[in-house]
Structure 1
Amino acid sequence: MTSTQPNPLRNVWYQISQASWPWRITWLYLALFLFLPIAALVLKAITLNPQEIWRIATDPVALSTYNVTFVTALAAGTINGFAGLIIAWVLVRYEFPGKRLLDAAIDLPFALPTAVAGLTLSTIYSTSGWVGGFLEPFGLRVSFTRLGVLVAMIFISLPFVVRAVQPVLQALEVEMEEAAWSMGANRWQTFCRVILPPLMPAVLTGVAMGFSRAVGEYGSVVLIAGNIPFQDLIAPVLIIQRLEQFDYAGATVIGTVLLLISLAVLLVINLIQARGRRMYG
């Protein structure tokens, strides 16, 4: 006897086959370049037994890399959230010589190869570099420390916040600020109660994108960090080290943990962002 129960997978495929071409292209593109690679990563990781997966994922060196990677990336995103907002404010609200040049320079981390960025940062912030030599007498070392990892992550993730905030700031009505001033509010009160709330979803968007970029960064970090376990070794470098040892399953386990933690953090940020949009439109 043939089953009369509907097949969910067949129904989904039928709906996709009956959809318009843009819808089909969207699903095909996402399947090839997003869903399949993620599925391959997870499937390779689960070829190991659960005990082995847990052992690799909770190895002391791996736990240390999670701390360095995610905590430093969150710190870089938070710093860029403040600095990027100020930079976007200056670029939108002020006119000064060289403004267009500065605006174009913000996108430099997008175009600059990460290896070149790492080499440049490690040179500038070394003990004999322009900035590192100035900080050395104060006992601050940047290159080949965890602080260097933070500097590299700040450098490569700053444009995300600036570019996310700029268009929203340009769309804000100056009349709202003038109305607040006419009602007796000072500049600080106007900024905190009138300007900042509508900007927060854009700031969080930039922070989330910058955080994601910083978590996966390898080229610039590997050159400015000492890559020493329990000090400044990041998870992407640990994955490369396991691949060099032909431990492909172990590398995919670390990669899967990074994927799950990143998704969880991004989900929280997106929930906060969605709440802000509901509150402030």
Structure 2
Amino acid sequence: MHRRTSPVIPGFGLTLGYTLVYLSLLVLIPLAALFLHAAQLSWGEFWAIVTAPRVLAALKLSFATALGAALLNGVIGALLAWVLVRYRFAGRKLIEAMIDLPFALPTAVAGIALTALYAPNGPIGQWAAELGLKIAYTPLGITLALTFVTLPFVVRTLQPVLADIPREVEEAAACLGARPLQVLRHVLLPALLPAWLTGFSLALARGVGEYGSVIFIAGNMPGKTEILPLLIMVKLDQYDYTGATAIGVQMLLVSFILLLAINLLQRRLARA
């Protein structure tokens, strides 16, 4: 196998060395320490911790709400990216800035703001309560917070791909007799699906580990609205470091399996 090198800026060995050093310091060594600390437990002790009813309920809630938010953003983010790329209108730059707001806004501030709006005594929460819908302190409120935080990942991933698709391709398909749904299915979706999966996986990964924006609107009721990152913090506050690392390893393994499956699917679609 021939190694690819840049004909303009040489230095493969040096750049690879820096890459491996930073990757080791920031990712590999901390993860190895996590697994080594959890290895102090026997298999029976580890299994008893990660299969406790409270842990399983938090695990299910964290991944279910993150998945729901990622799917919701997959639809909303695709529509927003389409509008921002294909149309020019007044206020477009303002919408662009608002989409990036979750990146700049502290997550705790976002959580407080969402709780103030959607709590039973909040402006929107009161209106929803009249309709018999409770948002704050429920899984729905958690999904809403995660949707707010993870929206930019989908939009910013799809925008450059949409911008690279010439409008002439769609016009040619229409001239050949394709209906709008056929253009969407056979022209746009094959080009957008790999990028959409990338944005979806990024939103899912961010949602699973989100903490600041969720703890205020969740209510943090064990077995009902307690997310897994909060349970890890509870273990740390109780000086149960081994239990916290065991839950962290469980969370890491489940996340890795999900992201690996999504990446394999993305690669298969890209080859097709």
* TM-score (normalizing by structure 1): 0.91
**Computing the radius of gyration over CA atoms, which structure comes out larger, 1 or 2?**
1
1:196 paired to 2:167: no
Instruction: Assess, with a 3 A threshold, how the Cα gap between structure 1 residues 19 and 182 changes in structure 2: closer, same or farther.
Output: closer
Q: Corresponding residue for 1:183?
A: 176
Report the CA distance between 1:74 and its aligned residue.
0.8
1:60 paired to 2:30: no
Give SS of 1:47's match.
coil
Q: Corresponding residue for 2:225?
A: 232
Superposition CA RMSD, Å: 1.1
Output the amino acid matched with 2:49: I
Distance of 1:166 and 1:19 partners within structure 2: 31
Q: Corresponding residue for 1:275?
A: 268
1:44 paired to 2:37: yes
Count residues with an aligned counterpart. 262
Q: Corresponding residue for 2:241?
A: 248
Output the amino acid matched with 1:143: A
Runs of 4+ in 1 over 4 A off after TM superposition: none
Give SS of 1:20's match.
helix
Counterpart of 1:210 (choices 196, 203, 208) is 203
Distance of 1:20 and 1:185 partners within structure 2: 51
Q: Corresponding residue for 1:10?
A: none
1:171 paired to 2:150: no
Q: Corresponding residue for 1:81?
A: 74
Distance of 1:78 and 1:271 partners within structure 2: 18
- 5+ residue gaps in structure 1? 1-17
Distance of 1:127 and 1:185 partners within structure 2: 49
Distance of 1:43 and 1:110 partners within structure 2: 33
**Same amino acid, percent of matched pairs:** 47
Distance of 2:245 and 2:48 partners within structure 1: 13
Q: Corresponding residue for 2:216?
A: 223
Report the CA distance between 1:20 and its aligned residue.
1.4
Output the amino acid matched with 2:148: F
* TM-score (normalizing by structure 2): 0.94
Report the CA distance between 1:130 and its aligned residue.
2.4
Q: Corresponding residue for 1:266?
A: 259
Distance of 1:119 and 1:53 partners within structure 2: 35
Distance of 2:270 and 2:122 partners within structure 1: 44
Distance of 1:252 and 1:189 partners within structure 2: 50
Counterpart of 2:103 (choices 84, 100, 110) is 110
Counterpart of 1:24 (choices 14, 17, 20) is 17
Distance of 2:152 and 2:218 partners within structure 1: 22
Q: Deviations over 1:199-247 (max 9, x none)?
A: 0111110010011100110011001101112211110000000001000
My pick for the range that moved more, 124-133 or 55-64, is 124-133
1:136 paired to 2:129: yes
Distance of 1:123 and 1:272 partners within structure 2: 40
Give SS of 1:55's match.
helix
Distance of 2:53 and 2:247 partners within structure 1: 12
Give SS of 1:246's match.
coil
Distance of 2:67 and 2:138 partners within structure 1: 17
Report the CA distance between 1:19 and its aligned residue.
6.6
Instruction: Assess, with a 3 A threshold, how the Cα gap between structure 1 residues 192 and 19 changes in structure 2: closer, same or farther.
Output: closer
- 5+ residue gaps in structure 2? 1-10
Counterpart of 2:28 (choices 28, 35, 40) is 35
Distance of 2:12 and 2:90 partners within structure 1: 52
Distance of 1:246 and 1:230 partners within structure 2: 21
Distance of 1:268 and 1:114 partners within structure 2: 28
